[in-house]
Amino acid sequence: QNAPLELVSMRHAREGNTLTVSGLVRNPRGAAAEARITAVVFAFDKSGTFVASGRAPLDFTTLQAGDESPFVVTIPNVSEVGRYRVSFRTDGGMLRHVDRRSDQLRLATATRPEASR
């Protein structure tokens, strides 16, 4: 079993009834290469009911150990989205991933200069 992918960043944008989720995923150092990874986004309404899904390949076809790739998934015709979930898969099935976004926030907070007094 390969080391889990790392979700480094993620954000979303709404334009009319279209939801676009984009982000950056990393294959950790020391991991085996992964090829033809697809990002999959599931959208749910405010009560947690599934609304729609979308998928798109990562920008890079193959992720070697330590490589990062952006992804952009667009889901049209959704008006009531309360939350969404991202996952990653290959032709062989689902890939495990860990959310490293809080690591980035802690790093940014730790390196931010103190406000002038």
- Per residue in 25-80, pLDDT (tens digit) is 999 999 999 999 999 999 999 999 999 999 999 999 999 999 999 999 999 999 88
Q: In DSSP terms, which residues pair with 40 in a beta bridge?
A: 55, 87
- Reduced to 3 states, what is the DSSP secondary structure of residue 16? coil
Q: How confident is the model at residue 117 (pLDDT cuts 50, 70, 90)?
A: very low
The pLDDT of residue 116 is above 80: no
Q: What is the pLDDT of residue 42?
A: 96
Q: What share of the chain is helix, strand, coil (3-state, %, to 5)?
A: 10, 50, 40
